[in-house]
Each structure stands twice: as C-alpha cells, then as structure tokens.
Amino acid sequence: MKAGRKTSGSKYKKPKKRKLAGRQSQARIVKIGDKKTKLLKTRGGSKKLTSFFNNVANIITKGKGKNTKIKNVIETPSNTFLARQNILVKGAIIETELGKAKITNRPSQEGNIQAVLIN
C-alpha cells in the first residue's frame, strides 16, 4: 500500500482548514426600548446596521409609510417564548398606535423595523 491511500486505492481527503469567515457571529436580540444601533463591518468591505433596542416601526398602509410607536409584542409564530420577552423578530405581531402589525423585515440585520397593518 502506498502512503496516504485507502485500501481501495483512493486518496484520503484532508479536512478543511478553519477560517475567520466560517465562524458564527454573536446573536443579536432586538427588544423594545429607546433606539440603540451599532454599525458592523461585514465581508467584502460592506457595512451592516444592527439594532439592539427600538420602539418605533415604519408601518405601511395604503402604499404610504408612517412612523408609530411599538407598545407590545402580541405573538411570535416562530417561537412563543420570544413574545413573552418582547423580542422583535421577522413575522412577529406587534401592537402599535395604529393597531396590530406584522414585522416584515429582520430588525437585527437592518437596524430598523418595517411592518404592515393586519387589521
């Protein structure tokens, strides 16, 4: 048998090297509170605005946007525990001054909250 070969004659494949781009970033949780954001550097020299606290949502009604305050998180279909802790995620149903709204973007990735009225 040659060195570095299996009994069938095929080569052993080397495991991939660990790289900086392959590691996971820290989970960012967005809660209701006074606005607090941070600018992060991403791969390729781009930048990403992430949010930690936010209490204002851009709600679209009849093709027009309006800024409204968020009162509470009513429910989160992806995880019921997130609604109890008032964590804002995509798909969460929130209570605002205009009524119930559904979050349509990812607040932890974009730094703001976009929503559509449900009523």
- Where are the chain's structural domains? 20-117
Domain 20-117 part of CATH 3.10.290.70: yes
What's the DSSP call for residue 29?
-
Please state whether beta strands 114-117 and 56-61 pair in parallel, antiparallel, or not at all (unpaired): parallel
CA distance 27 to 108: 9
Spatial contact of 119 and 100, defined as CB atoms under 8 Å apart? yes
Q: Digits of tens for pLDDT over the chain (119 positions)? A: 688 899 999 999 989 999 887 888 788 899 999 999 999 888 889 998 899 999 999 998 888 899 999 999 999 999 999 999 999 999 999 999 999 999 999 998 888 999 999 97
CA distance 51 to 105: 12
Could you tell me if residue 86 is left (phi over 0), alpha (psi between -120 and 50 degrees) or otherwise beta?
A: left
